[in-house]
Amino acid sequence: MKLIAIDLDGTLLNSKHQVSLENKSALRQAQRDGIEVVVSTGRAYFDVESIFEPLGMKTWVISANGAVIHDPDGRLYHQETIEKQQAYDILSWLESENYYYEVFTDSAIYTPQNGRELLEIELDRFRSANPEADLSVLKQAAEVQYSQSGFAYIDSYQELFESDRPIDFYNILGFSFFKEKLEAGWNRYEHDEDLTLVSSAEHNFELSARKASKGQALERLAARLNIPLEETAAVGDSLNDKSMLESAGKGVAMGNAREDIKAMADAVTLTNDEHGVAHMIKNLL
């Protein structure tokens, strides 16, 4: 095995959003053995930096669900952006339908000023409609969104199109506690030929350019590094990992992965709270 691509949330990060000592030393061991360790996440690049800098590790980073690739020294290697008019149309729809949204760009993650309020209102509505629902699980889902760094707050998406400096749109995330709102997003964009639609967690859907996916980014990077795909492995837990698990020679699902991801993977490792990545690396080496 010459390259391992690793998802972050639900995979390398435990439920406290941390990299365990076990996982950290397994990554180091892999690097010492000459394996190219690649981080592959829906998070933004600057967010990945803030997680990895304290670890003192340099790796290739695929971010924003495959829209962006940075080399280990932090230089931009490749990007696939959503066309401006298309970004405008998506955002005007999300805003008019009162979605909490996040816009991943080259400079920040833009999110509405009233984002937390929007989610609190949704949570209240959800609670009245589903009195038996476990609110702590829902609150945790929202916390994953808030645990990112690099937010910038906007009153409306329109601000993003008034700026003098053109913005590169990598990824647009819509979030809701309501199944119907998530389905509305899927129905609207599933068959759009210019877009890739995935989901990294139960309560969101994420849009990027057609050629932006974790799988296509892995293929591009393997070609750049002259590593045949058969000698690559990838590990993840969600729908946004499916393309990379398919592209890699060996696709591994986390023990905590969605059932459909486990079913399509070549192997299943332990959960993220059991250092599943370390376990997988030990098995590969």
Binding residues for Ca ion restricted to 254-273, rule: CB under 5 A: none
The tokens for 245 are 């698990």
Whole-angstrom distance, CA of residue 281 vs CA of residue 24: 11
Whole-angstrom distance, CA of residue 34 vs CA of residue 284: 13
Instruction: Tell me the chain's radius of gyration from C-alpha atoms.
Output: 18
- Could you say whether residue 206 binds Ca ion (CB under 5 A)? no
Residue span binding Ca ion (CB under 5 A) among the ranges 2-10, 124-132, 155-163, 217-225: 2-10
The tokens for 85 are 């008019």
Whole-angstrom distance, CA of residue 234 vs CA of residue 3: 8
Please state the closest distance from residue 29 (CB atom) to Ca ion, in A.
Answer: 23
Please state the closest distance from residue 201 (CB atom) to Ca ion, in A.
Answer: 7
Binding residues for Ca ion restricted to 4-63, rule: CB under 5 A: 7, 9-10
Kindly name the residue from 7, 47, 106, 241 that is annotated as catalytic.
7
Decide if 216 contacts 7 (C-beta within 8 A).
no
Binding residues for Ca ion restricted to 222-251, rule: CB under 5 A: 237-238
For Ca ion, the closer of residues 7 and 106 by Cβ is 7
DSSP 226: T
Residue position matching structure tokens 């299943």: 268
165, HSE (Cβ side, Cα atoms, 13 Å) = 6
For Ca ion, the closer of residues 7 and 168 by Cβ is 7
DSSP 12: I
For Ca ion, the closer of residues 9 and 47 by Cβ is 9
Please state the closest distance from residue 25 (CB atom) to Ca ion, in A.
Answer: 22
For Ca ion, the closer of residues 7 and 219 by Cβ is 7
Q: What is the residue type of 262? A: K
Please state the closest distance from residue 162 (CB atom) to Ca ion, in A.
Answer: 34
- Could you say whether residue 168 binds Ca ion (CB under 5 A)? no
Please state the closest distance from residue 15 (CB atom) to Ca ion, in A.
Answer: 12
Decide if 14 contacts 256 (C-beta within 8 A).
no
Q: Is 73 a catalytic residue?
A: no
For Ca ion, the closer of residues 5 and 87 by Cβ is 5
The tokens for 180 are 């119907």
Residues at the contact surface with Ca ion, assessed by CB under 5 A: 7, 9-10, 237-238
Please give the positions annotated as active site: 7
